[in-house]
Amino acid sequence: MTLGAQITKLRERFGLKRLVFVGDRGMITQARIEEDLRPVEGLDWITALRSAQINQLVEAGALDQSLFDQRNLAEISSPDFPGERLVACRNPLLAERRRHKREELLAATEAELAKIAAAASRPKRPLRGKDKIALRVGRVIDRYHMAKHFIIQAEDGALGWKRDQQKIEAESALDGIYVVRTSLAAADLTNSQIVERYKDLGAVEQAFRSLKTVDLKVRPVHHRLEGRVRAHVLLCMLAYYVEWHMRQALAPMLFDDDAPRLPREDPVSRKNPSPSAARKAQTKKTADGSPVHSFQTLLADLATIVRNTITPNLEGAASWTQDTEPTALQRKAFDLLERIQIP
């Protein structure tokens, strides 16, 4: 329910009249579209369909595998989404990962079911009772979310199962396929641009990952008063803004891209690293032969610089401070950081 409040904030506090919201299918749902976005003039959206909605398109004949014979994306339409453009995409790499992950989950589920079957048939203290066996089975299939792919028969003192191959094949047919939906007209953004903007959510997810766990660790929040909690979160957001600029400046020393990426065939395919980033990943060396750092290890190296307060053991002698002399690598990092111009 956070979307409505953000719409109000952007329109009233910032005075924005034309907005395009980009969000994943968990945030911009059908309910939010109908209640918060569609009724308001000047609001558009880019999001994606859920798996059940994609299945409905397949059953209705609106989405067919032949669409991807020549390209990895194609625009389709459906009366279930009036006034919207649907851009169907197929990512072969994503399809392979999903097939591999499903097979892993199926095998893990079968291994746990085998343990339950052995417990039900063992001679000493067997697992008895159909309800107890079913309860153990339920825990397993809930853990791996594979209930739809198995036909299970639990009886008193026995457990049998088999894979539902028909459902597995039906799901595998949609591996790597996702559908981006938008209310924008073709004159506003092309199909490729729509997919690009939706995939830009990956940068937002990376930012929150850095904010929450990797670098800044916004939690735990050791505050109780609302104003202090808000101030804590604001400081973390400002810190990430500074970190973003630092990463851009320090890119030549990091594994990050420090040059334009190589072009790709279409927006569905994986982004190619720049030649310099690929070289750094392979050689673990920068252009000048120095070791390549991650952002975390470079900060740890810079953290070795300390300021010492020196007090002579002489009566009346004054104290002074002296900083650690930076290494060549640290001087290079400082030189790059001095070029940052934060608005």
- Assess whether 164 and 186 both reside in one domain: no
- Assess whether 216 and 121 both reside in one domain: no
pTM (whole model) above 0.85? no
Cα–Cα distances in angstroms (integers) from residue 107 to residues 77, 101, 159, 178, in the given order: 38, 10, 17, 25
Q: Is residue 265 part of a domain?
A: no
Interatomic CA distance for residues 207 and 146, integer angstroms: 32
- Assess whether 186 and 301 both reside in one domain: no
> Helix, strand or coil for residue 230?
helix
User: What pLDDT, on a 0 to 100 scale, did the predictor assign at position 126?
Assistant: 87
Residue position matching structure tokens 């396929």: 177
Tokens of 310: 């020196």
Q: Is residue 219 part of a domain?
A: yes
Domain enclosing residue 122, as ranges: 94-171
- Assess whether 58 and 163 both reside in one domain: no
Q: pLDDT of 182-227, one tens digit each?
A: 999 999 999 999 999 999 999 999 999 999 988 888 888 888 899 9
- Assess whether 27 and 112 both reside in one domain: no
Q: Is residue 156 part of a domain?
A: yes
Size of the chain in residues: 343
Q: Is residue 274 part of a domain?
A: no
- Assess whether 99 and 235 both reside in one domain: no
- Assess whether 148 and 236 both reside in one domain: no
pLDDT, average across residues 266-273: 86
Residue position matching structure tokens 């453009």: 85
Phi, psi of 323, rounded to the nearest 5 degrees = -90, 150
- Assess whether 330 and 189 both reside in one domain: no
User: What pLDDT, on a 0 to 100 scale, did the predictor assign at position 219?
Assistant: 86
- Assess whether 107 and 241 both reside in one domain: no
- Assess whether 45 and 181 both reside in one domain: yes
Average pLDDT, the chain: 92
- Assess whether 242 and 325 both reside in one domain: yes
- Assess whether 132 and 244 both reside in one domain: no
**Count of structural domains within the chain:** 3
pLDDT at residue 272 above 90? no
β-strand 43-48 against 19-22: which pairing, if any?
parallel
Report whether 253 contacts 336 (CB < 8 A). yes
